[in-house]
Amino acid sequence: MTVTPNVSPTPEKISPANRIVLALLLVSAFVVMLNETIVGVALPTIMKDLGVDPVTGQFLVTAYMLTMAVVIPLTGFLMKRFTTRQVFLGAISLFVAGTAVGAIATLLP
């Protein structure tokens, strides 16, 4: 009977470029989740600053979540037509632009 030594495979090293990509993905995922949850916490302040009633404030949250529900399935469609980098950069650009517009809003039309 032959006993084979228990050899564990050597883990692959992550290249510096892949570390940067991984860090960007982790930070992006964190920011998106933070943005989704912070709206609920900040809703009373947002309603006060925009001068809206609770029904309209809830509509803002519903519109945000509905947008997410529409965009997530659309991502699969876009991934077939564009590179991952293009989709990621486009999504982050739209996210930053939307956040900037929301940050400078003074009233709800």
Phi-psi region of 51 (alpha: psi -120 to 50; beta: other; left: phi over 0): left
Distance CA 12, CA 37 (A): 36
* Confidence (pLDDT) at 109: 67
Distance CA 68, CA 94 (A): 12
pTM: 0.67
* Confidence (pLDDT) at 4: 66
pLDDT in tens, the chain (109 residues): 666 667 677 778 888 888 998 998 899 889 888 887 888 888 898 888 888 899 988 888 888 889 888 888 898 899 999 998 899 899 889 988 988 998 888 877 6
